[in-house]
Structure 1
Amino acid sequence: MLTFPSLGPNAYLLGVAGSRRMLDTPALVLDRAALERNIAKMAATANDHGIGLRPHVKSHKSARIAHMQIEAGALGVSCATLGEAEAMIEARVPSVLVTSPIVSSNKLRRLVGLAEEAGPRQLMVVVDDARNVAELAVHAARLAYPLDVLIDYHSGYHRTGVVDERAALELARAIVESGSLTLRGVQAYGGHLQHIEGRTRRDEAAAQLRSTVAALVASLESAGMPIEIVTGVGTGTHDMDAAAGVFTEMQPGSYVFMDAEYEHVLAGDGRAAPFETSLFVQSTVVSTQAPSWVTIDAGTKAFATDSGLPVAARGVGGPSEYAFFGDEHGRLTVDAAHRPSLGAHIEFVTPHCDPTVNLYDRYHVVDGDTLVDIWPIEARGRL
Structure 2
Amino acid sequence: MTDINAHLIGIPGGRARLNTPALILDLDALEANIEALAARAKTSGIALRPHAKTHKSAEIARRQVAAGALGVCCAKLAEAEALTDAGITNILITSPVVTEEALKRLARLNARTQGLMAVVDDARVLERMGEAIRAQGSKRLTLLMDLDIGLHRTGIAPGEAAYRLAAAIAAHPALDFKGLQAYAGHVMHIENEAARREKSKEGLAQLRAVRDELTRRNLAPEILSGGGTGTFDIDPAENVFTELQAGSYVFMDRQYNDVWTKDGKSPPFAPSLFIETSVISANTAGIVTTDAGLKCFATEAGSPQIIAGAPEGAAYFFFGDEQGGILFANPGETLAPGRVVTCLTPHCDPTVNLHDVYHVVRGDTLIAIWPVDARGRCA
Give, in whole Å, the separation in 2 of the partners of 1:314 and 1:236. 26
In structure 1, the residue matched to 2:354 is 359
The answer to whether residue 372 in structure 2 is matched with residue 377 in structure 1 is: yes
Q: Give the equivalent residue in structure 2 for 1:170.
A: 164
- The residue that corresponds to 2:152 in the other structure is 158
Q: Is the 8 A contact 1:259 1:352 kept in 2?
A: yes
Identify which of 98, 116, 124 aligns with 1:123: 116
Alpha-carbon offset, residue 338 of structure 1: 4.8
Residues 236, 266 of structure 1: 8 Å contact kept: no
Q: Residue 323 in 1 paired to residue 321 in 2?
A: no
- Structure 2 CA distance, aligned partners of 1:13 and 1:145? 47
Alignment of 1:252-267 (within 5 A): 252-267=246-261
Task: State which of 201, 205, 221 in structure 2 corresponds to 1:211.
Answer: 205
Asked if the contact 2:73/2:94 (under 8 Å) is kept, the reply is: yes
TM-score with structure 2 setting the length: 0.97
Q: Equivalents in 2 of 1:15, 1:337: separation in Å?
A: 38
Residues 152-210 of structure 1: CA deviation (Å, up to 9, x unaligned): 01121111110122121110121122111010000001111100111111000001111
1:9 aligns with 2:10: no
Q: Which amino acid aligns with 1:137?
A: G
Distance 1:203 1:173 in 2: 32
1:56 counterpart letter in structure 2: H
Question: In structure 1, what is the equivalent of residue 288 of structure 2?
Answer: 294
1:236 aligns with 2:236: no
* Aligned residue identity for 2:352: V
Q: Does the Cα contact within 8 Å between 2:286 and 2:333 map onto a contact in 1? A: no
Q: Distance in 1 between matches of 2:282 and 2:254?
A: 26
Q: What letter is aligned with 2:195?
A: R
Equivalent in the alignment of 1:181: 175
Aligned to 1:40: 35
Query: For the residues of structure 1 that align with 2:162 and 2:260, how far apart are their CA atoms?
Result: 33
CA distance in 2 between counterparts of 1:289 and 1:267 reads: 35
Deviates more, 1:274-283 or 1:239-248: 239-248
The count of corresponding residues between Structure 1 and Structure 2 is 376
Q: Is the 8 A contact 1:199 1:268 kept in 2?
A: no
CA distance in 1 between partners of 2:107 and 2:298 (Å): 33
Does 2:49 align with 1:51?
Answer: no
1:30 and 1:365 in contact (8 A); partners too: yes
CA drift of 1:144 comes to 4.1
Match of 1:226 in 2: 220
Question: In structure 2, what is the Cα distance between the partners aligned to 1:219 and 1:348?
Answer: 48
Q: CA deviation at 1:317?
A: 3.2
Q: Which residue of 2 aligns with 1:137?
A: 130
Q: Distance in 1 between matches of 2:160 and 2:143?
A: 18
Q: Is the 8 A contact 1:67 1:93 kept in 2?
A: yes
Q: Identify the residue that residue 198 of structure 1 maps to in structure 2.
A: 192
Alignment correspondent of 1:21: 16
- TM-score under structure 1 length normalisation: 0.96
1:210 is aligned with what amino acid? L
Q: Residue by residue, what CA displacement relative to the aligned partner does 1:98-152 show, whole Å, maximum 9, x if unpaired? A: 0010011110010010010003xx1000000111111111111244432100000
**Larger mean Cα displacement after TM superposition, 76-85 or 311-320:** 311-320
Contact map agreement 1:165 1:219 (CA 8 A) in 2: no
Equivalent residue letter for 1:300: L
Name the counterpart of 1:67: 62
Alignment gaps of 5+ in structure 2 = none
Gapped regions of structure 1 (runs ≥ 5): none
How far apart are residue 233 of structure 1 and its match? 0.4
Query: Match of 1:257, as an amino acid?
Result: F
Decide whether the 8 Å contact of 1:193 with 1:205 is kept in 2.
yes
Q: Which amino acid aligns with 2:188?
A: Q
Residue 262 of structure 1: how far off its partner (Å)? 0.3
> Is the Cα–Cα contact under 8 Å of residues 191 and 263 in structure 2 kept in the other structure?
no
Task: Please state how far the C-alpha of 1:337 moved relative to its aligned partner.
Answer: 6.2
Give secondary structure in 1 for the equivalent of 2:160. helix
- Retained in 1: the 8 A contact 2:285–2:332? no
SS of the residue corresponding to residue 193 of structure 1 reads: coil
Q: What SS does structure 2 have at the residue aligned with 1:151?
A: strand
Residues 285-321 of structure 1: CA distance to partner in whole angstroms, max 9, x if unpaired? 0000011100000110010011111001111131111
Give the match for residue 299 of structure 2: 305
Write the distance in 2 (CA, Å) between the matches of 1:277 and 1:226. Answer: 39
For residue 25 of structure 2, the aligned residue among 23, 30, 33 is 30
Please state whether the residue corresponding to 1:317 is helix, strand or coil.
Answer: coil
